[in-house]
Structure 1
């Protein structure tokens, strides 16, 4: 399939996306983009969509955490067809470039169109999953698209452990066929994915007085390519938290520096692009520290020159005021954990060529008065592999000691590929009818909410489609607007195919 050439954007009526087709989709996409909707802050967007649906006379269920279920009857001739569940999620990853002051709790995304792509302005775009919600609203608002009865499920907290899907009451669903709109490749049908689990690794902090004559410095690593911790894990990009651990090991061992604070990462499903440590050091050792950091930073830059060409390590004076530093034992436990936690690809599938089977991302790092916390995300297409990685992390905590502990949460099962899926075969037929060629069928290392719906609805049959998007979960996120109409055409054709 070849993509159509991009269109010149008509900016009349102050609309950034006016002139793009399908107009109904881009109208809703822009409308949603104006609403703040970070994870745990979905009430406003949920209320907006619920009001939109009620105004059209549809049955609406909104639960206490703002998941939505909207029911629309089938169109003439499809009234008695098997119900189709249409799924997306309302929350987005909120991240901004260094120096960009964007209040995600009170501001929507400022869109811009550059050639064939829609971007944010120094922030994530939120195409993941504003796309799915805009398609759902387009179908709900359309009166010229034949379709079976629809149950539109829009979940919350997907980007922070799939909390909405975990909470959603599956007994309210009558449909057994689910079409998810959270895929990013219009040339393929997404037909299976990994499950995942999150792991909170905690190290209690013991404190010692800081030597007041020492200098406070910020050791920071930034400029990394980052990316989605599941879609992009095979690209072997540098992890800022892991590399900070590598640098701290040298700093502590060779210069006697003490650590007062650590932080890094933005979300459990994002490869960390930045991390920082606040350290305290004798002024006489600062030159030595800089030399050692520069040498190690040069090695890291060489190792990742292809994946992370903009990697930057800086040492600068910190204005932070503090009177305590981690004890030597706590700092050692921190460094051991950051350097020994599994990170990146852990196994490849022996059944699907090129597919990552299991991985771990050291995703978030923070410290407070009581503990250092390191949050990991562990996806795997095979449950036993997932739990084996968790067990290795637990063993590491036992070896490190110092009161280190492991807690798991947000356990989501995998969605196994089924080559005999009615949804998949109907989508293949619809795709070939629309585009004159067979689609690629994709099974991915990413973990979607679909494994949870598989547990909630017996014998559910699922598929995911979507337009082309790149670098989701990063400030480079962009949506190829020329591919949206391709997905819209496929969506309408597939709904016609699902008449029986």
Structure 2
């Protein structure tokens, strides 16, 4: 049976309605003139589908219809992970199966003043020179690239390849929930190519693991004193970025800076804190944060002066990494009916100030590689608690848990019901210098580009650590075109680097006959 005469399709007996996204039908669009055309056609079609984390059903159904239309075996699980299988082409039928991996969800963030409903709207693409951008939003190249590459190979009739098992997971950006949930027993392959890498000049061959921690401070509420002035303290305009790929750039963290300014106000004035918030995602360095305050009218000028003074110091400290940083205090129109007790307000400032943030250790075996870090990523206020969420990546598990223990010890010292809970504990993927797949890919790289690839091991934590744990002995690499500032509204994909990666992928597949 050839690759295009495959057997029965199974999609949990579902027949989703994806008429709004006719698979492979749209030959026009913003990216219509870019090559390879098959990749950019799928990239654009997928970009039209809303697919933030926990909202992946529509894109999963789109892929399921794609598979059914081509007679490919397909499986969707109950949270919309999807697996598509395609037999090997002529001469490759008996080769060892190869797994492709990517994830369908994206980080959803928009510029200030841009109204975009990510639950219902896809990404509006635009081209600026060599780069594809979103329009006032994240682009979602992480990981629309992976989905588009996988579909492009599945759709091809002229690319030699071994039997393929394409796994496209959900909820990667919020704790790798898809890979945690996926039933790896459905896979027979023991080698895997991932498409979640952003450097076309290198082959990715190892990554950190991570764990997320929720620092929960119980809230004591008090009735807001009468006669005080409502003020909004804001920190915005930071460079932000991926909390693992970009952590070594020493960019400012808006939540940390907010706590610093609030602390300066509390040190001098009887300011009452009503709420705090900041950040957008556990894998994003927070680019903005804000607090609502009540200030005595007689203290407003002094409060503004304190904020200006601290802001001046902060801007000097981060003028290279965050040149557009803004810190300000302005009147708030919102009605504030209750405030945090002084004890709770002080606890919030202490917790944020004393929690480790940024690079914690550098590798002693790989030059210039961050070994462990922590990012205070999200800050929120609810009726019951103030929550400070941190994500802790490390190439060594014991380092990860040691940083977590420091955060837990801080909670113990604070007392009053403060506690730390964890989720999304993902193991690392250690570098294997004897990887056979890496050797094949390295030769393919040299044959394609007449240059030796750089083999990269990264501080980022990918789902590959979970596949490494679930499938003992699995052999993996990751490749991808050039992308910058992922997880931010400055995210951009260098479309000129897609064609070389496409050629490299085809050459790797051609050499996987065994």
Identify the TM-score tier after normalising by the shorter chain: over 0.9
Q: Which runs of 4+ in 1 moved over 6 A?
A: none
Paired with 1:310 and 1:470, the residues of 2 have a C-alpha distance of 18
Paired with 1:248 and 1:468, the residues of 2 have a C-alpha distance of 39
Q: Using the TM superposition, name which of 252-261 and 129-138 deviates more.
A: 252-261
Q: Using the TM superposition, name which of 247-256 and 298-307 deviates more.
A: 247-256
> For residues 142-184 of structure 1, what are the alpha-carbon distances to aligned partners after superposition, in whole Å with 9 as ceiling and x for unaligned?
0000000000000000000000000000000000000000000
2:142 counterpart of 1:128 = yes
Deviation, 1:14, is 5.2
Which position in structure 1 is the counterpart of 2:508?
494
Deviation, 1:402, is 2.4
Q: How many residues align?
A: 489
Which position in structure 2 is the counterpart of 1:5?
none
Which position in structure 2 is the counterpart of 1:159?
173
Paired with 2:385 and 2:290, the residues of 1 have a C-alpha distance of 16
Deviation, 1:13, is 7.0
> For residues 296-330 of structure 1, what are the alpha-carbon distances to aligned partners after superposition, in whole Å with 9 as ceiling and x for unaligned?
00000000000000000121111111211100110
SS in 2 for 1:446: strand
With normalisation by structure 1, the TM-score equals 0.97
Paired with 1:434 and 1:63, the residues of 2 have a C-alpha distance of 38
Paired with 2:451 and 2:221, the residues of 1 have a C-alpha distance of 65
Asked if 1 retains the 8 angstrom alpha-carbon contact of 2:27 and 2:41, the reply is: no
Match of 1:91 among 79, 85, 105: 105
Taking structure 1 as reference, are residues 14 and 70 closer, same or farther at Cα in structure 2, changes over 3 Å only?
closer
Alpha-carbon RMSD across the aligned residues, in angstroms, is 0.8
Paired with 1:207 and 1:218, the residues of 2 have a C-alpha distance of 19
Paired with 1:44 and 1:483, the residues of 2 have a C-alpha distance of 29
Deviation, 1:41, is 0.1
Paired with 1:489 and 1:496, the residues of 2 have a C-alpha distance of 11
Which position in structure 2 is the counterpart of 1:9?
none
Paired with 1:230 and 1:495, the residues of 2 have a C-alpha distance of 30
Alignment of 1:349-368 (within 5 A): 349-368=363-382
Which position in structure 1 is the counterpart of 2:64?
50
Paired with 1:194 and 1:323, the residues of 2 have a C-alpha distance of 45
Paired with 1:266 and 1:499, the residues of 2 have a C-alpha distance of 44
Match of 1:264 among 265, 273, 278: 278
Which position in structure 2 is the counterpart of 1:397?
411
> For residues 212-234 of structure 1, what are the alpha-carbon distances to aligned partners after superposition, in whole Å with 9 as ceiling and x for unaligned?
20001000000000000000000
2:78 counterpart of 1:64 = yes
2:350 counterpart of 1:298 = no
Asked if 1 retains the 8 angstrom alpha-carbon contact of 2:53 and 2:106, the reply is: yes
Deviation, 1:289, is 0.3
Asked if 2 retains the 8 angstrom alpha-carbon contact of 1:329 and 1:402, the reply is: no
Which position in structure 2 is the counterpart of 1:16?
30
Asked if 2 retains the 8 angstrom alpha-carbon contact of 1:333 and 1:402, the reply is: no
Alignment of 1:105-116 (within 5 A): 105-116=119-130
Paired with 2:260 and 2:472, the residues of 1 have a C-alpha distance of 47
Paired with 1:438 and 1:325, the residues of 2 have a C-alpha distance of 61
Which position in structure 1 is the counterpart of 2:251?
237
> For residues 359-401 of structure 1, what are the alpha-carbon distances to aligned partners after superposition, in whole Å with 9 as ceiling and x for unaligned?
0000000001110000000000000000000000000111122
Q: Using the TM superposition, name which of 203-212 and 117-126 deviates more.
A: 203-212
With normalisation by structure 2, the TM-score equals 0.95
Unaligned runs of 5+ in 1: 1-11
Paired with 2:121 and 2:164, the residues of 1 have a C-alpha distance of 32
2:91 counterpart of 1:77 = yes
SS in 2 for 1:253: helix
Paired with 1:315 and 1:328, the residues of 2 have a C-alpha distance of 20
> For residues 56-78 of structure 1, what are the alpha-carbon distances to aligned partners after superposition, in whole Å with 9 as ceiling and x for unaligned?
00000100000000000000000
> For residues 433-482 of structure 1, what are the alpha-carbon distances to aligned partners after superposition, in whole Å with 9 as ceiling and x for unaligned?
00101000000000000000011112100000000000000000000000
Which position in structure 2 is the counterpart of 1:139?
153
Taking structure 1 as reference, are residues 58 and 14 closer, same or farther at Cα in structure 2, changes over 3 Å only?
closer
SS in 1 for 2:460: coil
